[in-house]
Amino acid sequence: MLRRCHISVINGNDNAGRHNHFCDRSNPAMTNPRALAALATVACLSATAQAGVVTTDGADIIVNTNSGLEVKTADGETSFKLGGRLQLDGSTWDGATNKGSDDWGSDLWFRRARIELAGKSGDWGYEAAYNLVDSGSIQDANISYEGWGSMFRVVAGQQKEDFGMEDTQSSKWITFIERSMPTNAFETGQSVGLKLTGANDALTYSVGVYRAAIDADDNSLDEAWTGRFVYRPILADDGTLLHLGIGATLRNGSFEALGSRLARGGEDGNASKVQAAYTAGEAEELLIYNFEAAGQLGSGHIAAEYFIAEASDNEAAGDMDAEGFYVELGYVLTGEQRGYKNAIAAFDKVKPASAGGAWELTARYDQLDVDNDDPLMKITGEVGSSYTVGLNWYATQLVKIMANYSYVEVDKEINDQDDGNVFSMRAQYAF
Question: By CB under 8 A, what part of segment 120-149 binds a second copy?
Answer: 121-124, 126, 128, 130, 132-133, 135-138, 141-143
CB 420 within 8 A of CB 102: no
Query: CA neighbours within 13 Å on the CB side: how many for 111?
Result: 22
CB 286 within 8 A of CB 310: yes
How many residues of this chain interact with a second copy, rule: CB under 8 A?
Answer: 100
Neighbours of 218 (CB within 10 A): 8
Sign of the C-alpha dihedral computed for residues 412, 174, 154 and 149 taken in this order? positive
150 contacts a second copy (rule: CB under 8 A): no
Our measurement of the distance from residue 431's CA atom to the centroid of its chain's CA atoms, rounded to an integer in Å, reads 12
What amino acid occupies position 407?
Y
What amino acid occupies position 425?
M
Among 7, 8, 17, 54, binds a second copy (CB under 8 A): 54
Residues in region 81-100 near a second copy by CB under 8 A: 82, 84, 86, 88
From 152-160, 328-336, 362-370, 380-388, span contacting a second copy (CB under 8 A): 152-160
Among 7, 38, 216, 235, binds a second copy (CB under 8 A): 38
19 contacts a second copy (rule: CB under 8 A): yes
From 114-122, 278-286, 382-390, 411-419, span contacting a second copy (CB under 8 A): 114-122
Q: How far is the CB of 400 from a second copy (least distance, A)?
A: 10
In 313-376, beta strands by DSSP E: 320-332, 338-341, 346-350, 358-369
Residues in region 346-375 near a second copy by CB under 8 A: 355
Instruction: Please name which of 115, 116, 125 lies closest in space to residue 78, comparing C-alpha atoms.
Output: 125
Give whichever of 138 and 389 is closer to a second copy, judged by the CB atom: 138
Helices marked H in 101-143 — which ranges? none
From 289-297, 378-386, 390-398, 409-417, span contacting a second copy (CB under 8 A): 390-398
Question: CA–CA separation, 348 vs 116, rounded Å?
Answer: 17
CB 358 within 8 A of CB 352: yes
Residue 430: strand pairing partners? 85
18 contacts a second copy (rule: CB under 8 A): yes
Residues in region 208-237 near a second copy by CB under 8 A: 211, 214-215
Neighbours of 330 (CB within 10 A): 22
53 contacts a second copy (rule: CB under 8 A): yes
Residues in region 180-209 near a second copy by CB under 8 A: 192
Give whichever of 64 and 279 is closer to a second copy, judged by the CB atom: 64
Residues in region 247-286 near a second copy by CB under 8 A: none
59 contacts a second copy (rule: CB under 8 A): yes
From 109-117, 180-188, 243-251, 279-287, span contacting a second copy (CB under 8 A): 109-117
CB 7 within 8 A of CB 40: yes
Residue 85: strand pairing partners? 114, 430
Residues in region 291-350 near a second copy by CB under 8 A: none
